Structure formats: C-alpha cells, structure tokens
Amino acid sequence: MRFLRDSVTMQNLEDYLNSIPKDHNEEDIYKEALPLLVKEGFLSVIKTQTDYRDFHSKLLTLAKLPHGIGLGVSLMAQVNIAGKVLQIAAELEISIAGQILNDLVEGKLIVSLGVSEPDWKGRLSNLKSTLTPQTSGKYLLNGEKSFFTNGYHSDFFLVVVKLDKNYKVLILNKNKPGLNITKFTLPFAVEATHCKIQFQDVEIDSSEILDFDYSKYAENLRLSEMLSLSAVFSGYALSTLEKIRTNETLIRILKEDETKQKKLLRCKTLLELLKARVLEISSEKDKNPNLELKEYFPYGTELVAEEFYLILEEIFPKEEIEIYFHDKQLFQYRDMLNESYIRRRAKVVSGM
C-alpha cells in the first residue's frame, strides 16, 4: 500500500501558510514554521535514514503551498546537509554532535553548513581557510565561507576546513567571538535565508572538531540535496499545471489550438516521469542509506525544467504566465559543482 504514503496532507501547515499576510517578512517564515514542520515529520528522516520516500512525498506536497518552495529549500539543506553531517558524527559517538542533532530534529535550533569560498570552483582542494595549531593545544581559524543556507537564523555553523591531509568539520556556536556574519538575499526562494562568514583568529577547541573526513561524504551529501530539489521542482511544476486548468484566460488559449494541448500533455508527462524517478530513487535510498547517488545523477531535473518553461512560454503570452514563474531562477540555475558532476557522469556514459 505504498501509494497511500505518497498522498500527503498537512492541513495545519497549509492553514498557517495561507494565513501569512503579504507584507510579512518572508525571511522569518522557516523559523516560525519550524514547529509545524517538525509536527508533520519533515525532520524525522535525519535520524531514521529510512524515510526518504516519505520525506520527498512531503516535499512534493509542500512545494504546492504558499512559501512552499522556499521552505523546501530550507528543509533540503537542513536534512541532507547539516542534519546528515551531524548524524554521521553522532554515529561516531562524537558527543557534541549527538546533543545538537537531537535539538535539530526536535526543531529547537537551526544548523547550517558552509563549504564554499571565493574562487573555490567546486573543489575542496581549493579551500583557503586555515586552521592553525597553537601551543595551548587549541587552533586558530582564519578565512571566509561564502554560502550558508539557513545561515541567517542558524544557531550553529558547520564549517569545512582542511586539517593536515583531511577535511574536517568544525561546529561553532553563532555567538562565538571572531565570527563576522553578513546576511545576503537571493532573488528566489527567499524563505531560505543565506549568509557568509569571515573568521578572524577564531579560537577552536578540539571538542569543536568533528573527527571524520568530510571529503568521503561530500559528493553524496550534495547529490542527496539535489534529489530533494527535484522533489520540490516536481511538486511546484505539477501544481502550476493544475492552476493553469483553473485559469479561464489560459484555458481559452488551449481550447483554440490542439497542438498547444499536446505540448501541455508532453509537459505533464515529463513531470510525472521525473516525480516517479525521484520517488523510485528515494525508495532505493531507504533500503540503503549509503546508496551511491552518482549512479543515478543527473536525475533529469535540469532537462525537465528547461522543457517545462520552454513549453509554457511557447503556449501562453508572457504577461499571462509569468505569475507562476516567481522562483524560476532557482530551477534554471546551473551550479558549478553540479555541472562538474554532470560532466563526469557524461564521460562515464560515453565510455571515456
């Protein structure tokens, strides 16, 4: 009866999101909605590691709601990145990680991970931030991280740095001296806040270093996050097609041209295939939490998103359809790290 789990309702959350006034600060919505998101079970997968299909079914539904895309982006970073890093560390019995993980899953705090630095070009080997040992047994952190999703409301920051020959994750309280936090806003999914941080002689205790090699997990963490983004896109795009069916102006345009009707059918078919693929991979991930996602990536989101926007712009006048495209840049953005994974996969498929 698996299909029953894929039909998700979340009435309390929906009522809350529908009640938010238009002049409300959208950057506060994730933090304010967190108790409801916890109640709906969005964060439980962090600990179970066997409910990804259920998690992605929830994201599919969430993306149809007001502010749902931005909340989905916040959740995919919290679950697949920060939450997973803490879960790995907790399994290694690193006590500080276990304590923070419990509070994260219960919605008591927000955690954000930063890897990116200026000019890093998607390569860990290009990271320049330094962690310098001191005679006291502590370390000094200097450098900059340029991108923390959920960063502006985070209670703790996870910071990836090179130490000796490995890449370690530091866990830093937001109030730690030496952190210069700067908020910035992207032109899409604004409910997911972002910040960058400069570190100036930040004193690091050995207990704040999560003692495992981040590089062994980095690719799978990123691809897991992208699988969640595919769920968010699928939910949003399928919902958009439903909204078109209730728009009398757009329906009149469709009635006049059978070719346009067929194009819209093609669009829906591609979206349903992408949704099915996301849920199928999620089921495999439930069976094996350490599933190598590089064997499945790219998932098809880039291709389907390109077709989705192209078809709708071919069928309908721009002024009639652009009201549905408020987060278009999110789904058309080509991240350098993702592009490097796609190039590598293309070579494998081509036998090179």
On the 0-12 / 13-18 / 19+ scale of CB atoms within 10 A, 215 is middle
Residue 138, CA atoms < 13 Å, CB-side half-sphere: 9
Question: What pLDDT sits at residue 344?
Answer: 79
Residue 339's pLDDT band (cuts 50, 70, 90): confident
Among 109-123, 127-141, 254-268, 325-339, where is mean pLDDT lowest? 325-339
The residues, any chain, with a CB within 8 Å of residue 352's CB and separated by 6 or more, are none
Same domain for 116 and 100, yes or no, is no
Q: Are 280 and 253 spatial neighbours (Cβ–Cβ below 8 Å)?
A: no
Asked whether residue 305 is domain-assigned, the answer is yes
Domain count, the chain: 3
User: Is 293 contained in some domain?
Assistant: yes
Among the three residues 165, 197, 215, which one is the final residue of a domain in this structure?
215
For residue 280, being part of any structural domain is answered with yes
Specify the pLDDT at position 352. 65
Last residue of a domain, one of 168, 186, 215: 215
Q: DSSP string spanning 196-247?
A: EEEEEEEEE-GGGEE-S-GGGTHHHHHHHHHHHHHHHHHHHHHHHHHHHHT-
- Which CATH number do you get for residue 205? 2.40.110.10
Q: CA distances (Å), 146 to each of 68, 113, 129, 188, in order? A: 25, 11, 11, 18
Same domain, 236 and 265: yes
Task: Examine residue 319 and state whether it is found in any structural domain, yes or no.
Answer: yes
Q: Which of 347, 339, 326 is nearest to 26 (CA)?
A: 326
Domain that residue 188 falls in = 111-215
In a domain, 55, yes or no: yes
Question: Between vectors from CA 341 to CA 337 and to CA 344, what angle results, nearest 5°?
Answer: 135
In contact, 86 and 100? CB cutoff 8 Å: yes
Whether 264 and 296 share a structural domain:
yes
Same domain, 206 and 238: no
Q: Specify whether 28 is located in the same domain as 42.
A: yes
Alpha helices in the chain (DSSP H): 11-19, 29-39, 45-48, 52-62, 68-77, 84-91, 95-105, 218-245, 248-255, 258-287, 301-315, 318-321, 328-332, 336-349
**32-88 pLDDT per residue, tens:** 999 999 999 999 999 999 999 999 999 999 999 999 999 999 999 999 999 999 999
